[in-house]
Structures are given as structure tokens and as C-alpha cells.
Chain A
Amino acid sequence: MVSNGALDLRIPSDVQHIEGLVEQVVRRCAEHRFAGRQLALNVPVALTEALSNAILRGNGDASGKEVRVRAEFVDGRVVLEVEDEGGGFDLAECTGDPTTPENLEREDGRGLFLMQALMDRVERLSGPANVVRLTLIRR
């Protein structure tokens, strides 16, 4: 953890660790006076999706791997970065529309859609690490 109000955390690649990490980030967002809906909906759901993708897809649900999460608070916004050990993916190619009649009854396919709907910005950073960056403006 760094001292300027930011968080830098690592968890084992196991979905059982998601809820506790999300709680920590939501608590920090509350300290930065994010709105109630952002604390109850936007941040926890979008971050859970990003962590779930990192653990199950990026890291292939393999034990022994890790996921790193950084949260920084800059100019009234939170920037969340979720890093896994996988090879990355094409955000646009992988994001479908689960609201179409043919997709509505599918069990999967809502994760990236929800991230995009609940965050102001979603990016995948190219480079040596596979990072998804979520940005939310405080309202």
C-alpha cells in the first residue's frame, strides 16, 4: 500500500478473494466521498467483473498465480487497474451486447458489458503486463 491514499494490493488467483478486496476498495472510495450508488453498484460490480475475468480468463483459474489491483484517486476520479498474468484480449472484440433478443437468455456474456456500462472509461493497456483500467468520476 502506498501513502497517498492509493491502494496497491495483490491477491492469490482465486475467486474467493474477490469480495474482500472489493470491500477494501469500496471503503477507500467512500473515504473519497463517492456517491452512494457508486459505492453500492458501479465500483463493486465493475471491479468484481474485472477481477473475475483476470482470475478465470487471464490467469486461466490456475492456482499459484496472482492478480494485482491498484486504485488511485486523482482529480475527483478513481482509476482502478487490474493486472493478471495472461496474454490479454481485445476489449472491443470480446464485448457483446447481452440485451439483444438472441442473447438475453444466455447465462454468460454480461461481464465486459457491465464494466463498460458502470464505468466512465474501460481500457486494456498493452505492454508487458495484461492490465484492465477502469475509471470512474465522482458524482
Chain B
Amino acid sequence: MSINVTRQRDVVVIEIEGQLIVSNRQELKQRVLDEAEGGARKILVDFGKTGYIDSSGLGVLVSLAKRLRELGGDLRLANLNDDLQTLFELTKLDTLFQIADSRERALETF
């Protein structure tokens, strides 16, 4: 997995390339927490280049969303392919996160 971080206005966009699974979830967690500690309150995770996500990866996203909310911010998701969308629907996490079809659409409303 590789993580690409960019900033678009006041939104930190985190693009995940590869799999988000038990062996690398801490890397994402630390990266997002570092951004939050640096003052970021709007974080968008872009899954356009993501392969599959396991339960540990989902758990980290839940944990980070809670942390951002505690700080008065928000963590949103974008660009899920059909398989990832199914994963979020199976676990009902699609009801917990605000998910946009594209990065552009997510940024418009963030």
C-alpha cells in the first residue's frame, strides 16, 4: 500500500493505492492522526486506486472517523468501486460514512 497526501483548499485528501489490510492499517492510522494533530479537520479518503479492504482496514476507518468527530472535524470517503461499495453495504458502514462518487463531488460539498 502507498499513501498519497494532497491538500485541496482546507481538505486533506488521502489517496490509498493497493490493499488496506491488517499488515498496513497502522500506517494509514498514523498518517491521518498526524494530519489531525497538525490541525486538519476535513479529511477525504480517496479509494480510486484501492484494491481490497479487510475488517482491520474498515476498523481503522471507523476509529479515525470517531477521532475526527471528537475534534470537531469529519472524515469522508470517495471513489469506491462496486466491490468496495458492496463491502461497505454488507457491513452497513455506508450508513456511517458520507461517501461520494468522485473526489470532485466530495470536495464540492465538504
Contacts and interface: CB of A to CB of B under 8 A. Distances in A.
Contact of B56 (A41, A52, A99, A104): A52
Given A15-B22, A52-B22, A110-B58, A104 B83 contact: no
State the majority secondary structure of interface residues on B: helix
Interface of B: 19, 21-23, 51-56, 58-60, 62-63, 66, 82-83, 86-87, 90-93, 95-96
A40 interface: yes
Contacts, number: 74
Contacts of A40: 51-52, 83
Contacts of A113: 55, 91
A104 B54 CA distance: 16
Given A98-B91, A104-B92, A114-B90, A19 B56 contact: no
A37 B83 contact: yes
A111 interface: yes
Contact of B66 (A48, A49, A105): A105
